């Protein structure tokens, strides 16, 4: 009977040790997997920061140039529209004498 108790105790202790070893192996594997995800996340973060800086360096000057160009075009269109409006006015001094045929001289 004593040998059976020793066998059961040894089996119990052996299974505890095997369980602990498996648990620690699983814990180490999980830690390595988490470390790999952290490294992948860091690489993605660095790539996003690089793209953002590239956008700041390349896209902002382009956007500024386009804004200035559009403002210049809008100013030219405004001046042209004002000139056309002034040309269409019926006042004689704006027509520069073009409608003088209706005047009696």
| pLDDT for residue 77 | 95
- Nearest CA to 85 out of 93, 94, 76 is that of 94
Q: Is 96 helix (H, G, I), strand (E, B) or coil?
A: coil
| pLDDT for residue 92 | 54
pLDDT tens, residue order, the chain (105 aa): 677 677 767 777 777 777 888 888 999 999 999 999 999 999 999 999 999 998 888 888 899 999 999 999 999 999 999 888 887 775 555 455 555 555 555
Domain residue spans of the chain: 2-95
pTM for the full model? 0.45
């Amino acid at each position: 009977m004593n040998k059976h108790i020793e066998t059961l105790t040894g089996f119990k202790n052996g299974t505890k040790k095997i369980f602990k070893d498996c648990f620690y192996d699983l814990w180490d594997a999980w830690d390595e997997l988490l470390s790999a995800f952290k490294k992948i996340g860091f690489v993605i973060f660095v790539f996003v920061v690089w793209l953002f800086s590239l956008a700041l360096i390349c896209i902002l000057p382009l956007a500024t140039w386009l804004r200035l160009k559009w403002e210049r075009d809008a100013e030219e269109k405004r001046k042209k529209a004002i000139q056309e409006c002034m040309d269409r006015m019926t006042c004689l001094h704006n027509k520069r004498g073009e409608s003088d045929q209706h005047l009696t001289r």
